Amino acid sequence: MTSTAAIRELLVAGHSNGYIVRTLGVSHVRVRNIRTELGLAVHKPGPTPAGSPEDRFWRLAQFTDDGHLLWPTEDKQVRTGHGGRRHSVLRVAFRIRHRREPVGQVNTDCGKRGCVHPDHVADRPMRQQYAAIFGTAA
């Protein structure tokens, strides 16, 4: 993923310019210009509400230099609110990318251990379709 795409994803997820600059190591000017292109209002400092599992996913997932996203803890769950409901990180990533609930187990298909990037996950029907086309298990 290009840094421009990563900046766009984080802006749409509601992150501040400063957070994006620190996380991705890009310039403030670049983030500000992309925010303007997207027509997004300037992020206002202050407490951020717990939000949806998808919001929490984007706040916690960490970009790598090679285009993957890693989860910061061994516990692969997204929790909403204080003591809130738990959501599988891979299932949340799948919903972000495909805008539907996954069927069966969700696995990473990029080969990078621990990757939770929404573009790198597949559910059971997707893996079965891959196997039918290419004749191997994904």
Kindly report the number of other CB atoms within 10 A of residue 102's CB atom: 22
Confidence of residue 101 (pLDDT cuts 50, 70, 90): very high
pLDDT of residue 137: 54
CB 71 within 8 A of CB 61: yes
Q: Nearest to residue 138, comparing CAs of 111, 99, 102, 114?
A: 111
pLDDT of residue 89: 93
pLDDT of residue 56: 83
Domain residues of the chain, as ranges? 1-48, 49-138
Average pLDDT, stretch 36-64?
Answer: 75
CA 75 to chain centre: 16
- pLDDT: which is higher, 80 or 62: 62
- pLDDT above 90 covers a percentage of the chain that reads 32
Q: How far apart are CA 5 and CA 117, in angstroms?
A: 13
Q: How far apart are CA 129 and CA 138, in angstroms?
A: 9
pTM: 0.61
